[in-house]
Amino acid sequence: MLRVGLTGGIGSGKSTVAQRLSTLGAVVIDSDVLAREVVAPGSAGLTAVAERFGEDVLEADGSLNRAALGAIVFADAQARRDLEEITHPLIARRTAELAEQAGERSVVVHDVPLLVEKHMGPGYHLVVVVGAAESTRTKRLAATRGMTLEEAQSRIAAQATDDERRTAADVWLDNDGSRDELLAAVDLLWSERLVPFEHNLRTGTRSRRPERLALHEPDPAWPEQAERLLGRLRRAFGDVLVTADHVGSTAVPGLIAKDVIDLQIGVRSLTDVDDPELLERLRAAGFPDVAENRQDNGKDGTVWPKRFLGSADPGRVAHVHVREVDSPGWRWALAFRDWMRADPGAREEYAAEKRRLAATLSTVGEYADAKEPWFDSVHERATAWAEASGWSHPRG
């Protein structure tokens, strides 16, 4: 199943997006609803809360007095942590149960207000954030919840910033316009990204770039996109992973590139990656193995073995090169990237070669093959730069 994390600040319109996705066919799991469910009258959660905080947090009918409990936990950090230790495992268990009931062919949308604050992004295939300007949100909170300006601003200030949310967002749904505009954006997201992503995930299919060659000007969003993907890869690889890096042209500021994120995972042994359980975990995380791509033509005249994974996300083509740490291929990818970052002249030379080839070639395959002689010609220069600069890869 495709797991989507949905979040947004108070007053952003997240509930409208959740309702629309549910109408379109998604299984929506609302964490706020579950937070109330796990402390409902007669539940084990409510019993544990009463044992920890006393009978004063209960109403006369035995239900939870949320105001009384809130007064305690918002004034005492330890009390808040104690409450979370009671409720969070119960919410997580119930979330897993509902997701399991949804079935393998489902798009499961987890509505989580504090997804960004809790750094939950790597646990989802995709994070969708609903955003709106603070002025828009304060007006909505006044109209729909009767809040004063000061109350609305205080609630907004207590949550993650828009910059933090944008960093976490694979998809940003702007809700400063009309409701119809927001719903149209959700419909497009559903049809063009979520449904194809679920299909790719279920069938183990990787997304592919168009074969027609297109070079793009540097996109400042590339590094953040890479870091989100690396977070998911770290989670999926577990202890097998030693290093995780953004490599290739999109990792070099100021360099034109194809709109493809290249990532490199360093492992102790490639045989570890051939473990069927790990390959299944990677596939389920959205990174299917591409069995026909198992080597590179080395710059030293030898074959450099690797494993290769693709991204199943149709909205973000990515290539994952898995190599043994300290192998020639692993070192070359990192040293070449860092040489490009450090040497403006070499970077411009590479950009000029890209433009020259793009002017005469029309397909990505032709372009990739045509670049190899240039890579071969600069191999010694890149190696000399690494030696002279004392280059090494930080592995902390």
- Looking at the predicted structure, is the pLDDT value of residue 332 above 50? yes
Minimum mean pLDDT among 254-263, 289-298, 333-342: which range? 289-298
In percent, how much of the chain has pLDDT > 70? 99
- Global pTM? 0.91
Minimum mean pLDDT among 208-212, 257-261, 270-274: which range? 208-212
For the chain, the average pLDDT equals 93
Residue pair 250/257 in contact (Cβ under 8 Å)? The answer is yes
Residue 70 has a pLDDT of 82
| Structure confidence by residue, pLDDT tens digits, 87-137 | 999 999 999 999 989 988 999 999 998 899 999 999 999 999 999 888 888
Residue 49 has a pLDDT of 93
Residue 77 has a pLDDT of 86
> In whole angstroms, what is the distance from residue 325 CA to residue 323 CA?
6
What does the pLDDT average to over 307-318?
97
Please state the three-class secondary structure of 292-333 as a single string: CCCEEECCCCCEEECEEEECCCCCCCEEEEEEECCCHHHHHH
The answer to whether the annotation marks 11 as part of a ligand binding site is yes
Name the 3-class secondary structure at 18. Answer: helix
Closest CA to 261 of 225, 291, 286: 225
Residue pair 258/269 in contact (Cβ under 8 Å)? The answer is no
Residue given tokens 């996705």 in the structure block? 21
The answer to whether the annotation marks 231 as part of a ligand binding site is no
Torsion from C-alpha of 261, 200, 168, 166, nearest 10 degrees: 80
* DSSP letter string, 361-386: --BHHHHHHHHHHHHHHHHHHHHHHH
The answer to whether the annotation marks 14 as part of a ligand binding site is yes
Domains of the chain (ranges, CATH numbers)? 2-203 (3.40.50.300), 222-389 (3.30.460.10)
Closest CA to 258 of 373, 354, 116, 156: 354
- Looking at the predicted structure, is the pLDDT value of residue 28 above 60? yes
Reported as a pLDDT band with limits 50, 70 and 90, residue 142 is confident
The answer to whether the annotation marks 269 as part of a ligand binding site is no
| Structure confidence by residue, pLDDT tens digits, 370-394 | 999 999 999 999 999 999 999 998 7
| Structure confidence by residue, pLDDT tens digits, 36-83 | 999 999 999 999 999 999 988 899 898 999 888 888 887 788 988 999
- Looking at the predicted structure, is the pLDDT value of residue 396 above 80? no
What does the pLDDT average to over 16-29?
96
| Structure confidence by residue, pLDDT tens digits, 343-364 | 999 999 999 999 999 999 889 9
Which amino acid is residue 263, in one-letter code?
L
Phi, psi of 68 (to 5 degrees): -65, -45
Residue 394 has a pLDDT of 77
The answer to whether the annotation marks 23 as part of a ligand binding site is no
The answer to whether the annotation marks 371 as part of a ligand binding site is no
DSSP assigned state of 141 = H
